[in-house]
Amino acid sequence: MGAQNNEPLDIAVIAPSRFPIREPYAGGLEVVVAKEVRALRERGHRVTLFAAEGSDGHEPRFEFTTMASAAGFGDSFYPPGGYESDAAEFHRLMDHLAVSQFDVILNHSLSHVPLLRAVDVGAEIITTLHCPQLSAMQEAFDQQGSAAGRVLAVSRSVLKTWRLPRGAEVIPNGVDTRIWRPQPHLQAAESQSPRGAAEPPRAVWSGRIVPEKAPHLAVDAALRAGLTLDLAGRIGDNIYMREVLAPRLRRAGNAVRVHGALGCDSLVPLVAGASVALVTPCWEEPFGLTAVEALACGTPVVALARGGIREILSGQPGVVLVEPGRDPASGLAAAIPTALTRDRAATARAAAATFSHETRIDRVEARLRGLLVGAAS
């Protein structure tokens, strides 16, 4: 094994099982896993990705069955029998890992099975917590104690919702500033119509279209503030889309453009060319990757101060945080004029310095080598 010096490591990465790790990414978790795998491979490590069918660069012999097209599937629930099938596939993967030769296993899944089966695997398992407490995973931590492996978390906000046998280190997510960066020519183009008349500012919202992300609040806030809105994302809850968001979109007419799920080639220009990004969580947001992506482009952010958003973005240049209150859309709308005055260049510089993906990978890599050297000594 390569832990004694700077030799490459043999690393297994367990991805979440619901969606493929490929563009357009289903959500922030899939983005984080894809970037981590790519960065570790660029550094020379031998990385085996265990992920859902259709993923890029994964090990197809042990792929997970995606359920995105199954009737009764949503981001927060499985179709009938789906939970049991998913667990069975994780057990099959853990059977394989128990007889494999990896230096370390990075677990980004939302399954309890890798925690229960950590004792069967010779390699160190490090689980990253990307969301508030999930009951099955918490029960596994309670049952296995320190035998469940090491733990990282993307924010203190996430970490405080879990009971962990030996705590965890917080390593925030980062953005690839080679991709998410200012594009001033887009901003200049957006500021003028073909006839030379000034266009109204344009807002952008991106993310999963689910109740906890609340894009309907972005629609309400943009219209109240007199802005047009670009809304980009994958529908993760059909009932929410049909009953909450769709009626607002019909009333908004041409003031809101809906783009669906976009790959980086289309999403980055959309975000970088906007006057402001709206971030509207109605839950204790674990991190808020879409906000950081916007800031890295120099696009100011107006965000509801929930969970990791408050923790990660407080005091960050280019950010206006809004207390949720009883009428969050009004609060967001009232904050937009302030955001429009923020220095875009300073916003991008500060975001790149604070949320560099390379810095995150430096910390992850150091953690891996430190654990392995310690285990060998």
Angle subtended by helix axes 289-296 and 28-42, to nearest 10: 60
Indicate if the pLDDT at residue 166 is higher than 90: no
Query: Cα separation of 183 and 187, whole Å?
Result: 7
Query: Cα separation of 94 and 102, whole Å?
Result: 12
CATH fourth-level superfamily of 184-354: Glycogen Phosphorylase B; (3.40.50.2000)
pLDDT score recorded for residue 377: 44
Would you tell me how many other CB atoms lie within 10 Å of the CB of residue 61? 9
pLDDT score recorded for residue 346: 97
Q: pLDDT tens digits, residue range 310-358?
A: 999 999 999 999 999 999 999 999 999 999 999 999 999 999 999 999 9
Q: pLDDT tens digits, residue range 176-217?
A: 999 999 987 776 555 555 445 557 799 999 999 999 999 999
pLDDT score recorded for residue 184: 79
The b-or-e profile of 216-251 (16+ CB within 10 A means b, else e) is bbbbbbbbebebbbbbbbbbbbeebbeebbeebbee
Domains 10-174+356-376 and 184-354 share a fold: yes
pLDDT score recorded for residue 70: 62
Query: Cα separation of 213 and 202, whole Å?
Result: 20
Sorting pLDDT into bands at 50, 70 and 90, what band is 78? confident
Domain boundaries, the chain: 10-174+356-376, 184-354
pTM of the model: 0.92
Class in CATH terms, 10-174+356-376? alpha beta
Sorting pLDDT into bands at 50, 70 and 90, what band is 270? very high
Q: Chain centroid to CA 282: how far?
A: 16
Tell me: cis bond preceding 24? Omega within 30 of 0 counts. Answer: yes
Q: pLDDT tens digits, residue range 218-264?
A: 999 999 999 999 999 999 999 999 999 999 999 999 999 999 999 99
Sorting pLDDT into bands at 50, 70 and 90, what band is 82? confident
pLDDT score recorded for residue 72: 60
Indicate if the pLDDT at residue 36 is higher than 50: yes
Q: Which two tokens stand for residue 11?
A: 């690393």
pLDDT score recorded for residue 1: 45
